[in-house]
Amino acid sequence: ADFGMATLASAAGYGGARGGTVGYMPPEQVEGMLVDERADIFSLAVVLRQALTGVNVFAGRTAKESLDHIYKGPKIPLLKEDPEVPFAVDAALTQALSPEPSMRQGSVLEFAQEIVTPLGSEKQGEKSLKSLVEQSEEEETETWDVKHLPLSIRFPWLPSAAVRGVSALVTGVLLAQLFQLIAPESLTFIVVGSLVGAAAAALWTPLGSALVIACAVYALASISPTSTSFPFATLVTLVSVIWWAFAGRVSKFSSINCLLGALLPAPVSAPALISATMHPLPAVLTGAFSYLFGTLFARGISLGFAATPLAYDYTSLASGLPFWVRFGACALSALLGSLMSQKRRRGWMVFGQIVCAILLSSGFIWAAWMENPNFWVVESIVSVLITVFLCVLVCIAIVLIGPLQADQEGEELDELS
């Protein structure tokens, strides 16, 4: 009863139809939002999980109760309910059951390919499906015009491809800057190393931030080594590992969100995207870390990543109140924006972006005024302009293609599927 609703809704240009069975409908269908093929993927995954365990973990007496179960996720992981289930099947089902459509597989075929091989004989499955198809009535020829639908509905794979592409680009550019300092005389190493790093980030997006951070730490430890190099590099490693463990590895947006501050002129540019694409805890951690690392990277490039002068410069900067005002503005704005984005409504998400931009801009201006009361406008103008630009850009994306879906914790394994 659930399958085919996405096709009907997409072809009609409206996905608000709530027809379906409670416990099998994805959140976007329950909430009357636009749905596409990924809604069918969710319903199919619920049926498959129930077939494996005998229990529908999302069943509820009402649609709201079912929705709460979906967002909280299964109380007992599939591998604990049935240890014989292949790990690849568990990973594929976890991805397909994400409450966020953009986190699911791009097509039913992709989902089937991830499921069918580990579960058993492909030939036997093909015969069984063929028998079922022959018993069903022939579907009517689709005559609807779907050209007016958003690109994200017509091409579900496009958002994921865009995230991978941008992650690869950001990673490659920053690695190239670091490699120019590490091996300035080897053009081949710079080019090949940057391309390999970019390819790795495209394959698994969280890897991009890990590679850039690792190369930055190596640069600190190896360029102009002194007694300061190892302790400073160790401290940077410790902070980075903590962030990556709790936030960096759990989101496909983590590399973009973390490295954006290092790429753009202002190291306070990431919270707009962070608040729209991450859950609150990863968002606040990434907002804080992106400022710390962005500031370190910018100063490191200007000082050739020589540990002693960089440590002195960074310590002097961090000893002042303006540094922590900017730090707090980045963390708090990312948190507030993410909390508002949890409602998954365009209006709330746009409002969250506006709040994020106002809070960030206020923090920049206040910090610039504390540093130089006579020239605070000049000091803060770049940061404010970048903040406003990113706010407008993210708001346009929200309005045109719908809410930018946040990752569900634990999906770092799914992207490798």
pLDDT digits 0-9 by tens, 360-369: 889 889 988 8
Residue 16 DSSP one-character state: -
pLDDT digits (tens, 9 = 90+) for 131-189: 767 665 444 444 455 555 655 666 777 778 888 999 999 999 999 999 999 999 999 99
- How distant is the alpha carbon of residue 393 from its chain centre? 17
Contact yes or no for 44/95 (Cβ under 8 A): no
The fold of the 5-127+149-153 domain, in CATH, is Transferase(Phosphotransferase); domain 1 (1.10.510)
Condensed to tens digits (0 to 9), the pLDDT of residues 246-290 reads 998 888 888 998 898 888 877 777 788 888 888 899 999 999 999
Q: What is the pTM of this model?
A: 0.62
User: How much is the pLDDT for 141?
Assistant: 45
pLDDT, residue 272, reads: 83
The pLDDT of residue 8 is 43
Q: What is the reported pLDDT for 208?
A: 94
Q: How far apart are CA 293 and CA 78, in angstroms?
A: 37
Alpha carbons within 13 A on the beta-carbon side of 295: 21
The domain limits of the chain are 5-127+149-153, 157-416
Residue 78 Cα distances to 82, 87, 302, angstroms: 6, 10, 50
Which amino acid is it at 119?
Answer: L
For residues 334 and 345, the answer to whether their CB atoms sit within 8 Å is no
Query: What number of CA atoms fall less than 13 Å from residue 79's CA on the CB side?
Result: 8
Comparing CA positions, the residue from 37, 39, 55 lying closest to residue 47 is 55
Burial 255-274 (b: 16+ CB within 10 A, else e): bbbbbbbbbbebbbbbbbbb
Neighbour count for residue 147 (Cβ, 10 Å)? 7
- pLDDT of amino acid 149: 60
Residue ranges of the chain whose pLDDT lies below 50 = 1-17, 137-143, 408-417
Q: What is the DSSP letter of 107?
A: S
Alpha carbon distance 298, 262 (integer Å): 6
- Those residues with Cβ within 8 angstroms of residue 297's Cβ, 6 or more apart along the chain or in another chain: 174, 216, 261, 262, 267
Short-list 397, 411, 159, 391, CA closest to 279:
411
- pLDDT of amino acid 5: 46
